[in-house]
Structure formats: structure tokens, C-alpha cells
Structure 1
Amino acid sequence: MKAIIFDFDGTLADTLPICFYAFQSVFKEFDDIEVTRDEIKSMFGPSETGIIQENLKNSNCDQAIDMYYQKYREKHEELVMTNEVLIDLLQTLKKQDYKLGIVTGKARKSLIISLDYLDMNELFDVIITGDDVSVPKPHPEGLNQAMALLNIKSDQALFIGDSDADIMAGKNANVRTVGVQWLPNFQTQDFSVQPDETVNHVEEFIELLEIERM
């Protein structure tokens, strides 16, 4: 195992609350509707830009997208807590010479905001966002891009995620998958496609890797 690739929202950071807040603000402001968290989850796949372009009835998409990022930034510190356990995990994996990556449907602009706030900027060897692919997860394009940039084969990587789309993307890329439910907010309670492993605590994941290394 040479590389560990992560989804971001709900996997590496408890950012779902800030995503919900920003989307709800936009749809209230521009379409005058209240959207639920489950309704927002059902839109996930494309980047935030794509979600707004595909779902907003109001024609002022550019203004709505600008408002999304404004809301995302202004409430980030209040709604997203730094998770020291996950930062320690990433730092430990780097010390163990794993290559680290992110493959997320999130737009690069919001990802950079979160990485800055959470002090995760210097931890990753490759980052593929929703802006970098033509087809979102569960299509394997993002994972295949990441593995090509890391110069590794599919059997040398793990993909860690919290949603059905993550697990299906991993399987479509022939990558071993780990479904995680270790943050307060995650996307999938019951995976419709079973990951190769499921863990509920970071400690379980560390134990899994230790077994791999033996």
C-alpha cells in the first residue's frame, strides 16, 4: 500500500453543516424556498457551482454562486471544528511515507477555504476537486487522475469515504475502499454497496493499516 486517498466533506472534515447552511441561504435568497438537509444531500455529486446551476430556478446563477462562497467563508469558523485526531492521523501517515490525496466533488475554491481554516494545507500530495473532472463520483475519473499523478497502480491505494458515491467510485477504479462514519455528520448511514472495510473510529483505521503493514 503506497497511497491513501480521501474524500473530504464528512470524511476528513465535519463540513456538511457549513455546506447545508450555505446552500440553504442561497436557495432562500434566490428561489425563496426552504430546502432540507436531505434535499441538499440528494443534489450532491457535482461541485457547488454545478449544484446551483442545475437546481436553482432563478437565472442569477453567478450571483448565487458568489453568495454560496461568501456564506461558506463567513460561518466556517463557527460551524466547522478542527479535528485534531484526524490531523494527527494525516501527519502520522505522512511520517510513515504514505502518499496522501483528496478526491472530492467539492469545488477547489471552497476546499481551499476549508484547508486554510483547518491547517491541512501542507498535508496532501495530490488534490482532485469537482472542478478537475468532467464526470463526478461515482465515476472513477477523479480517482484515476489522482493515481496517475501519484504514479501508483490501483492495487497500491486505499480510498476512504463516507458516501455510496465514494465507495462506488473506488470500486469502479478497482481500488480497495473503506467506508467511514467517524465524524458527527456523514452522508451515508447504510452503504448500498458494501465497502471492503467499514470503520467508525480513527483508531480502528490505524489498526487496519497496522495489519496491512505486517
Structure 2
Amino acid sequence: MKYNTVIFDFDYTLADATDGIVSSFNHAFSELDLASYDIESIKRTVGLSLDEAFVQLTANEDKALRNRFKILFKEKADEVMSKNTVLFDDTISTLRQLKRDGLNTGIVTTKYHYRIMETLNTYGISDLVDIIVGGEDVKAPKPSPEGLLLAIDSLNSRQNNVLYIGDSLVDAKTALAANVDFVAVTTGTTEVKEFSQYPCIRILKNLSELFDR
């Protein structure tokens, strides 16, 4: 591998938090007297900021309503998200292999930084990730390259030595904006043909395939 740094998205790239995400969304919608949404509709918003996800689902751009939604979402997520987050079967082995190979590792996500730490600590693998950039660590969410560039700078790496791995078109756009190579995984809701619109080094069915020659 020509890279010295591999950075990941989180939801549907390293982990599945569907139950926590869906319950947090629909709790907030219920409190706001808005219609609930089915699992697949909500899953398709994962990777977007909460503001963007709210607008995509409801077609309502009212700022005050969005802000109330975010507060309600966070309150419920604090109760249910971490205990309903499950790492994919090959996440830990992938991170361990990268560390054995001497690579820097990171996570850049729209999810809260502290929530990622909760999951890593639950699995006892916080030592396998060198840097986390969460939604509260940046001014502009993905696909802005701000978070990815912040992680690269923090690791004293260079863009041409960095690989970003993600499951959504938001991730593909982020890598393109940051001028780093991108590998797509189809463990989320985005299909191969959709990724083909963007410059992907590879499109994988799962993280384990990263090490296939």
C-alpha cells in the first residue's frame, strides 16, 4: 500500500447504528408532531448533517424547527445510540492490520466525536485510531473537506499519502474536495453504479477486501 494514512467514515463504513439512528429520528419527529419515517428512508440520510437530513426527509427548511429537531435527536441519541452501535465483523481486524503495517488511522464523520469515542471504548479499541474528527470539531460538515484536512494535518501526513474510505456519495465528494484518494464500500445504501460517478480507487463489498491484492 502506497499510503501511510487511512481515514474512515464511521456509520455504515465501520459500524451499523441503524436502530439508534432510526429511534432518535422518529423520537424527535414524534415530539414535534411530525410524521415518522421508515428505516430505509432514514438510512439514506446517514452521512448528511442533521440539518440536511431533516430537510431531505421533511422538505421543511424552517431553522427554528430544525434546531428543535437536533436537540430532541441528541437527547434520545444520548440514551440509545452507543448501546445500539455494532462494529462490522471485519472492522477491528482491519484496524489492527493497518496498525501492524505501521499506518496512521483516523475517523472523519458527521457524528459527534464523543459518541465515536464511546463506541471505541466499549470495544476496547481506542488505541487503534489515532485521530477522530467529529461533527462538532468543524465549522462545515462533509462534503466540505475541512474535517478530512484537519485530520491529515493533525497526523502530519500529506494528501497524496492518504486514503479515505466511506460508504456514501458524501464521502466520495469529501475525498474529491480534499484531493485525496477514495475507496468506496457498499456496506451502506449506495450502490456501485452510483459510486462510478466519482473517482474511486476501488469499490469494495467490505473492509476485508482492502487487503486483497
Pair in the same fold by TM > 0.5: yes
Structure 1 CA distance for aligned equivalents of residues 80 and 85 of structure 2: 13
Provide the TM-score with structure 2 as the length reference: 0.81
Is the alpha carbon distance of 1:85 and 1:110 closer, same or farther for their aligned partners in structure 2, counting shifts above 3 Å?
A: same
Deviations 1:17-68 (A, max 9, x none): 321222222222333421233543347422x588679584694864553223
Q: Which residue of 2 aligns with 1:27?
A: 29
Is the CA contact 2:28–2:69 (under 8 Å) kept in the aligned structure 1? Answer: no
Tell me the equivalent position of 2:104. Answer: 99
1:206 to 202, 206, 211: 211
Q: How does 1:91-170 map to 2 (within 5 A)?
A: 91-170=96-175
Deviations 1:64-118 (A, max 9, x none): 5322321324xx2xx4434342201101110110000000010123222322333
Counterpart secondary structure, 1:31: coil
1:149 & 1:162 partners in 2: Cα distance?
23
Task: Report the counterpart of residue 211 of structure 1 in structure 2.
Answer: none
TM-score (norm 1): 0.81
For residues 135-188 of structure 1, give each alpha carbon's deviation from its aligned partner in whole angstroms, at most 9, with x where no partner exists: 11111111110110011110000000000010111011110000012x4xx132
* Mapped contact 1:31–1:57 kept (Cα < 8 A): no
Q: Please tell me whether the aligned partners of residues 110 and 135 of structure 2 are also in contact (alpha carbons under 8 angstroms).
A: yes
The answer for the alignment partner of 2:9 in structure 1 is: 7
**Conserved? CA contact 1:162–1:188, under 8 Å:** yes
Match of 1:88, as an amino acid? S
* Residues 64 and 158 (structure 1), Cα distance of their counterparts in 2 relative to 1, 3 Å cut: closer
Equivalent residue number for residue 19 of structure 2: 17
Give secondary structure in 1 for the equivalent of 2:15: coil
Say how many residue pairs are matched.
Answer: 200
Taking only aligned residues, the RMSD between alpha carbons, in angstroms, comes to: 2.7
Which sits farther off after the overlay, 57-66 or 12-21?
Answer: 57-66
**Distance verdict in 2 for CA 1:28–1:96, change over 3 Å:** same
2:78 is aligned with 1:69? yes
Runs of 4+ in 1 over 6 A off after TM superposition: none
Amino acid at match of 2:31: E
> Structure 1: any 5+ residue segments left out of the alignment?
209-214
Q: 1:30 to 1:114 in 2, by over 3 A?
A: farther
Give how far 1:195 is off: 1.8
